[in-house]
Amino acid sequence: MSKLISLDDLSITALCLIREELKDLDVTVDCIHGYDRDVLCSKNFLTHFLKKIHANKLSSDVLLKICSNVSNKYFVNNIIVDRKARAERIKGITFLSRSFKDDMNYVLIKDLKVPYALMSDIDILVNGPIEIVKATRILEKIGCELYNFRLLAHPFKVMVTGCREGSFQIDLYPYPMWIRRQVASNEEVFQVKASSEMYGVKVPVPGSPMDFYLIATHAWFHLKLSLAEALHLFQVSKNLKESEWFYIMKVAEEWGTLDSIYVTSLILNALSSSLYGYQVVPEDIMHELERLYKASNSAKKWLKSMQRLEFPVRFPAHLAVLNSSIYTFRVLWKKSLRTAIYGVLSIYLNYSAGKLLGGEND
């Protein structure tokens, strides 16, 4: 990008507060300049900042790094709730590892490896409907409660709650899809499957290229990119090889998701340019994405119109809804008319739900 886009003050503040834990990121932004401690600990600032960090998928624990003696009941309750949610997530991941052992072919998806990241549920991609049936039988035997989703949801997508081990929620996906908008095949995810050490257990996860791909397409589908997601994608993209970038582009071209990869990469380059003065997504990769994605000029024009990069970054409807639905149908109908129709309906269902909920699409 020729134009350097600055970060908004609250995003800078959030980055400053978690920078000590960002092992792979040497954040050198000018931290919390212009604020004195009384302002930072004021109810007005903390209320505004709490909304900001929750919108960016970060835990309210971060507040304690601003003001260690937070005593207001509202803030204390938020911290307690978020700490419990993070603890329950750890319980759920270790529970799944013990329960499935080597009997299941699955990966943990959308797991943000960012300090204080706050994720509402545990998303598990299981290798197809037959494996879903196996998973549900295992979980039912140990006392978990199973529910189906509504409104366009795939009949084999299952929500798991009520397990004796904790109050966590697990979502089982039969395919990589957001509502019914499929973004990859199981083979494309599982052939680059990896393993990660988490909380004392080994957990199967997507390899780096599909980790990047799934989080980027999910953010695009939900019309916004949080700071936690951007930082996770930034760390992943720093270590991607050229062959892995081309793997991402191959899958994106096949499933009609080049828009999500290109626009997300634009934002990551704007973020890295603002923080470090360099672009994290290689120039030759951006050129190839521009060649493949026909609306790249419109996307660049949108980003250049920004005065500053404010997280969560909200994707414009003309790109992420209107243009994306046309592009989705044009690509997916080659797989099947049913796949294409479900893909487009999912985009508009999600957009409508977001409008009804006041712009929140998660």
DSSP 213-232: HHHHHHHHHTTEE-HHHHHH
Task: Say yes or no to pLDDT of 34 above 50.
Answer: no
Euclidean distance between CA atoms 100 and 258, whole angstroms: 34
Residue 244 falls inside a structural domain: yes
- Phi first, then psi: give them for residue 202, nearest 5 degrees: -90, 130
Euclidean distance between CA atoms 3 and 10, whole angstroms: 21
DSSP per residue over 26-39, as a string? ---S-TTTT--HHH
Task: Say yes or no to pLDDT of 204 above 80.
Answer: yes
- Residues ≥6 apart with Cβ < 8 Å to 63: 46, 49, 50, 53, 70, 75, 78, 79
Separation of first and last alpha carbons in the chain? 29
- Phi first, then psi: give them for residue 53, nearest 5 degrees: -70, -35
Residue 184 falls inside a structural domain: yes
Reported as a single tens digit per residue, the pLDDT across 283-323 is: 999 999 999 999 999 999 999 998 888 999 999 999 999 99
- State mean pLDDT over 60-78: 85
State the pairing for strand pair 308-309/6-7.
Answer: parallel
- State mean pLDDT over 259-274: 95
54 DSSP β-pair partners: none
Among 311, 262, 317, CA closest to 287? 262
Residue 361 falls inside a structural domain: no
Euclidean distance between CA atoms 281 and 155, whole angstroms: 37
Query: In which band, very low, low, confident or very high, does the pLDDT at 199 lie, cut at 50, 70 and 90?
Result: confident
Query: How many domains does the chain divide into?
Result: 1
Euclidean distance between CA atoms 168 and 159, whole angstroms: 11
Residue 362 falls inside a structural domain: no
Per the structure, the complete domain to which residue 338 belongs is given by 6-356
Query: In which band, very low, low, confident or very high, does the pLDDT at 64 lie, cut at 50, 70 and 90?
Result: confident
Residue 1 falls inside a structural domain: no
> What pLDDT, on the 0 to 100 scale, is given for residue 4?
54
* DSSP element (H, E) containing 147: strand 145-148
Residue 82 falls inside a structural domain: yes
State the pairing for strand pair 181-182/177-178.
Answer: antiparallel
Reported as a single tens digit per residue, the pLDDT across 88-134 is: 999 999 999 999 987 899 999 999 999 899 998 999 999 999 999 99
Task: Say yes or no to pLDDT of 52 above 80.
Answer: yes
Provide the whole-model pTM.
0.92
Residue 10 falls inside a structural domain: yes
107 DSSP β-pair partners: 125
Among 178, 199, 175, CA closest to 189? 175
- Residues ≥6 apart with Cβ < 8 Å to 133: none
Mean pLDDT of the chain: 89
Task: Say yes or no to pLDDT of 5 above 70.
Answer: no
Query: In which band, very low, low, confident or very high, does the pLDDT at 14 lie, cut at 50, 70 and 90?
Result: confident
Cα maximum dimension of the chain: 60
The beta-carbon contacts of 246-253 under 8 Å, at least 24 apart in sequence, are: 246/288, 247/192, 247/209, 248/209, 248/210, 248/212, 248/213, 249/285, 249/288, 249/289, 249/292, 251/184, 251/188, 251/210, 251/213, 252/213, 252/292, 253/292
